[in-house]
Homo-oligomer: A and B are copies of this chain.
């Protein structure tokens, strides 16, 4: 099933590195969630994702399918031309950017509008860290944080939380005393000039709680990192099943919860939540295109086992280099097409239903969810 005519809504991605930042950035590191030197310089090159991607990038850039040749071609073509080729081949209609990832090394969000219509996802931990750095009293912080959540930039179409990376998805109702204590600890770090890192459970939980309240008020979806990611994350606490108390909370029933990254390897668990809760959605990003074809197919199949098609979203989770946007778009269309064909062959869907499902997953569901 050829899905190349469907313009994509990429519901979760990140900004591109600025060319000057790219200079001290190891290109292979964009292809792994690991960050240890040995992973980045050696083991990543032994993954199927890296091997397959080198061939596909080489074809796009017109060079030999070797890392060295690709690096030379990128240099020769220049940043803008590489980006132009990747986005032209990808075919996005809208891209939602979480611009809180490596914020001081990436291109401005609005710059990406040349490739597709761009909307913002507000990464709430980054916002909180900035405000903690700037404001010394709890009262001032609390007021500023709430104000920022409740009156975001009009380009913001949703929130994004990385609490899974910091203190895990088993979020508890925040205890005011503990929250303030955590804030004071972080302020002391700030005053000593240390880098601020929001990783105090009561305060992280409070940040999520505030986000859900603002999202309820503004009717905006909240994206949760779930499942695999870099080793900063304890995968045990990135299982979306831990979100149950929030999903059951009467105050948050109108907030769409978007479970990112196919919650890999908790993909069936995520699909179950999206099947029984009206306000839960699942996403294919990172699983596509970072896995083998078998792995990408697993994610799509696992969702289709139980999850309503109206709840499945597409994204690339592309970041830093334009090639990931290209690869995510290419493999999103291709794997989805293959699995939908398989579904038609088995008699689970008709051709018409499968074609409609492709359009829903790649574009329509996200347009409706984010009111694009």
Contact = CB atoms under 8 A, between A and B. Distances in A.
A236 B236 CA distance: 12
Nearest to A35: B276
A234 to B, nearest CB: 5
A293 B346 contact: yes
State how many copies of this chain the complex holds.
3
Interface residues of A, number: 65
A277 B48 contact: no
Contacts of A342: 294
Contacts of A48: 304-305, 309, 343, 348-349
Contacts of A305: 48, 291-292, 294-295, 298
Contact of A292 (B231, B242, B247, B304): B304
Nearest to A305: B295
B275 A310 contact: no
Interface string A301-338: 11011111111000000000000000000000000000
Interface string A23-48: 00000000011111111001111111
A257 to B, nearest CB: 13
Given A278-B38, A308-B46, A52 B231 contact: no
A247 B34 CA distance: 13
Contact of A304 (B33, B248, B294): B294
Nearest to A338: B346
A349 B244 CA distance: 40
Given A39-B276, A235-B241, A51 B349 contact: yes
Given A268-B264, A293-B346, A43 B278 contact: yes
Interface string A250-273: 000000000000001100110010
A360 B298 CA distance: 25
Interface of A: 32-39, 42-49, 51-52, 228, 230-231, 234-236, 239, 241-242, 244, 247-248, 264-265, 268-269, 272, 275-278, 290-295, 298, 301-302, 304-311, 342-343, 346-350, 353, 360
